[in-house]
A and B are shown apart, each in its own frame.
Chain A
Amino acid sequence: MIRLEHLEKRFGERTVLRDLSLDIPRGQFAILFGPSGVGKTLLLSILAGLEPPTAGRVILDGRDMERVPPERRPVTMVFQRHALFPHLSVFENVAFSLRARGFHGASVRQRVAELLTLTGLETFADLRPGVLSGGQCQRVAFARALASDAEIILFDEPLNSLDRDLRALLMSELKRLHRARNFTALYVTHSVKEAVELGDRVYLLKDGHVPHTCEPREMEKHICTCEHPAEEHFSP
Chain B
Amino acid sequence: MNRLFKIFCLAMTVLVALFVVVALCNILAGSPSETIRALKNPAMRPVLIVSLETSLTAAALAMILGTPVAYVLARRNFPAKAVVETVLDLPVALPPMVAGLALLVLVSPSSPFGHALEKVGIHLIFTKAGIVLAQVFVALPFYIRAVRSAIAAIPPSIPAAASLLRATEAYTFFHVILPLSREGLVSGFVMCWTRALGEFGATAMVAGCIPGVTETLPIAIYTRATAGDLTFAGAAAFCLALVSFATLIGLRLLFSESDERRKA
Contact = CB atoms under 8 A, between A and B. Distances in A.
A101 B162 CA distance: 12
Interface residues of B, number: 17
Contacts of A83: 155, 157-158, 160-161
Contacts of A70: 160, 163-164
B75 to A, nearest CB: 13
A100 B171 contact: yes
B264 to A, nearest CB: 8
A147 B165 CA distance: 8
Interface string A75-86: 111010101111
A76 B157 contact: no
Interface string B142-160: 0000000000000101101
Contacts of A75: 164
Given A71-B166, A150-B164, 15 more contacts: A50-B164, A70-B160, A70-B163, A71-B164, A79-B157, A83-B157, A87-B180, A96-B165, A97-B166, A99-B175, A100-B165, A100-B166, A100-B168, A145-B165, A147-B165
Given A77-B161, A79-B161, A83-B158, A71 B180 contact: no
A190 interface: no
Interface of A: 48, 50, 69-71, 73, 75-77, 79, 81, 83-87, 96-97, 99-101, 144-145, 147-148, 150
Interface string B168-196: 10010001100110000000000000000
B167 interface: yes
Contacts of A79: 157, 160-161
Contacts of A76: 164-165
B167 A96 contact: yes
Contact of A50 (B158, B160, B167): B160
Contact of A96 (B155, B157, B162): B162
Given A81-B157, A83-B157, A69 B163 contact: yes
A47 B52 CA distance: 53
Nearest to A77: B164
